[in-house]
């Protein structure tokens, strides 16, 4: 792209300020800036909902298989699930492209040492759980790991240094997710340097389209993988490729399924599995109207009670039918270091937005979703913050309660 083309493009999207410092740049920096502009998908800036609340359709509570119902059929589900894993029909997808700004470490979140007297990374906690399943099934599922341009090299190096935690290296495949520009509160793309726009990971919703376009997509097709268990890096008790979950999903005929826990209070900050206009939908805690948030049944239990824990199983055939649909971009209000008046500023308060697509929007597109209840104390120990709620401290306590030596 040459300067003239860049000027025309930026004018169309009202982003001419990206060239503000152009004349002062070295030739190399000029080239770098023009190349970066050429790479940006400016269409993501269209239809952004600044300050608008998402208008929700008609909400109703979603059903989920309860603990009792699962227990009654555990043997049957487990057998189906183990068979599918043994036959190579199930693979895992780890979402590790996030920046973990709330935890505040300058490294991929999965490398964080959750151990106390010994070293135990978040990645290792999760890999141990996956290895346990692989041993029972007699087969190691393929594991796709989504990273970002920011943390890919460090993530790959960490797996190398740790000999893949005992997992067969040939079954682990990394791929890099796409980026989106970060913007100011008035919609202008922020600059990281005078010659470099801020590009950040574009949320976890694009995990399948990025996977398909990478070498991983070829592996998926060649191996005839039918189910993908996608999960977040945050949860140190994450059960991956859980055979009972896999078996129950296959038996249900649903296009996808999601593990859920019962909310502990109306205010708990988890997305809730609901139905919106009869379709499965996950309504984020900040979007849920008070009426539904606090509604209780005759026994005083929350009606909208099933919180999601970022552990979903998606049928590949369904994903292939929906992944090209445009997912909406959500505005995540964050602190973004950027150039102001020619100088680098590291803000103390959120000063802009990162643009993110979300996996929850894929659930809606899938059309049907089986909720699958799990015991939160056994499967949900999120590490979002350094201290307080959903923190390193709370996750350590839950790991110990589950017999993990720290």
Give the residues lining the site for ligand UTP (CB under 6 A): 95-102, 109, 146, 177, 201-204, 232-234, 310, 356, 384
Q: In terms of CB distance, is 316 or 358 closer to ligand UTP?
A: 358
Q: At its nearest, how many Å lie between ligand UTP and the CB of residue 54?
A: 17
Find where tokens 């445009």 sit.
Answer: 326
How far, in Å, CA of 369 to CA of 366, rounded?
7
Q: In terms of CB distance, is 177 or 257 closer to ligand UTP?
A: 177
Q: Contact 327/205 with Cβ under 8 angstroms?
A: yes
Q: At its nearest, how many Å lie between ligand UTP and the CB of residue 34?
A: 26
List alpha helices for 185-242, DSSP H: 207-213, 215-222
Q: Structure tokens of 12?
A: 């169309």
Q: At its nearest, how many Å lie between ligand UTP and the CB of residue 279?
A: 23
Tally the residues of the chain.
Answer: 406
CA angle, corner 173, sides to 172 and 177, nearest 5?
140
* Helix, strand or coil, per DSSP, at residue 179: strand
Q: In terms of CB distance, is 89 or 142 closer to ligand UTP?
A: 142
DSSP code, position 12 = H
**Residue 233, CA atoms < 13 Å, CB-side half-sphere:** 24
Q: In terms of CB distance, is 100 or 181 closer to ligand UTP?
A: 100
DSSP code, position 28 = H
DSSP string for residues in 315-364: EHHHHHHHTTSPPPPEEEEE---EEETTEEE--SS--EEEEE--HHHHHH
Q: In terms of CB distance, is 203 or 280 closer to ligand UTP?
A: 203
List alpha helices for 108-151, DSSP H: 122-137
Q: In terms of CB distance, is 203 or 371 closer to ligand UTP?
A: 203
Query: Which residue has the CB atom at the shortest distance from ligand UTP?
Result: 98
How far, in Å, CA of 250 to CA of 227, rounded?
9
Whole-number Cα distances in Å, 210 to 146, 213, 367: 8, 5, 21
Contacts 24+ apart (CB under 8 A), 298-305: 302/262, 302/263, 302/266, 303/61, 304/59, 304/61, 304/263, 304/272, 304/274, 305/61, 305/262, 305/263, 305/272
Whole-number Cα distances in Å, 399 to 142, 246, 263, 330, 347: 26, 24, 20, 32, 34
Q: What spatial distance separates the first Cα and last Cα of the chain, rounded to whole Å?
A: 53
Q: At its nearest, how many Å lie between ligand UTP and the CB of residue 102?
A: 3
Q: At its nearest, how many Å lie between ligand UTP and the CB of residue 75?
A: 32
Q: In terms of CB distance, is 15 or 177 closer to ligand UTP?
A: 177
């Amino acid at each position: 792209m040459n300067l003239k083309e860049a000027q025309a493009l930026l004018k169309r999207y009202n982003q001419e300020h990206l060239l503000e410092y152009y004349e002062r740049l070295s030739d190399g920096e000029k080239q770098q800036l023009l190349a970066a502009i050429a790479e940006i998908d400016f269409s993501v800036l269209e239809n952004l909902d600044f300050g608008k609340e998402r208008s929700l359709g008609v909400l109703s509570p979603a059903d989920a298989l309860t603990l009792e119902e699962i227990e009654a059929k555990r043997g049957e589900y487990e057998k189906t699930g183990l068979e599918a894993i043994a036959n190579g029909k199930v693979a895992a997808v780890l979402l590790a492209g996030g920046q973990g700004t709330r935890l505040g470490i300058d490294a991929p979140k999965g490398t964080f040492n959750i151990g106390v007297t010994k070293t135990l990374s978040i990645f290792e906690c999760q890999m141990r759980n996956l290895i346990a399943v692989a041993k029972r099934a007699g087969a190691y599922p393929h594991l796709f790991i989504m990273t970002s341009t920011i943390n890919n090299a460090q993530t790959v190096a960490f797996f190398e240094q740790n000999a893949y935690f005992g997992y067969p290296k040939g079954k682990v495949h990394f791929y890099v997710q796409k980026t989106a520009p970060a913007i100011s509160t008035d919609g202008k793309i922020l600059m990281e340097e005078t010659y470099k726009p801020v590009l950040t990971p574009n949320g976890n919703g694009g995990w399948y389209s990025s996977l398909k376009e990478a070498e991983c997509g070829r592996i998926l097709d060649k191996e005839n993988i039918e189910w993908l268990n996608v999960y977040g890096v945050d949860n140190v008790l994450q059960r991956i490729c859980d055979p009972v979950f896999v078996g129950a999903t296959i038996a249900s005929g649903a296009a996808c399924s999601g593990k859920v826990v019962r909310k502990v209070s109306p205010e708990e900050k988890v997305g809730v599995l609901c139905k919106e206009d009869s379709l499965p939908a996950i309504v984020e805690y900040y979007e849920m109207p008070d009426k539904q948030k606090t509604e209780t049944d005759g026994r005083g239990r929350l009606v909208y009670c099933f919180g999601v824990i970022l552990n979903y199983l998606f049928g590949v055939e369904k994903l292939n039918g929906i992944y090209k649909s445009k997912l909406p971009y959500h505005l995540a209000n964050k602190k973004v270091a950027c150039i102001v008046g020619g100088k680098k500023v590291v803000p103390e308060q959120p000063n802009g937005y990162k643009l993110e697509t979300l996996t929850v929007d894929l659930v809606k597109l899938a059309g049907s979703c089986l909720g699958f209840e799990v015991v939160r104390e056994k499967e949900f120990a999120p590490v979002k913050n350094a201290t307080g709620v959903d923190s390193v401290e709370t996750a350590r306590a839950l790991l110990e309660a589950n017999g993990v030596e720290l």
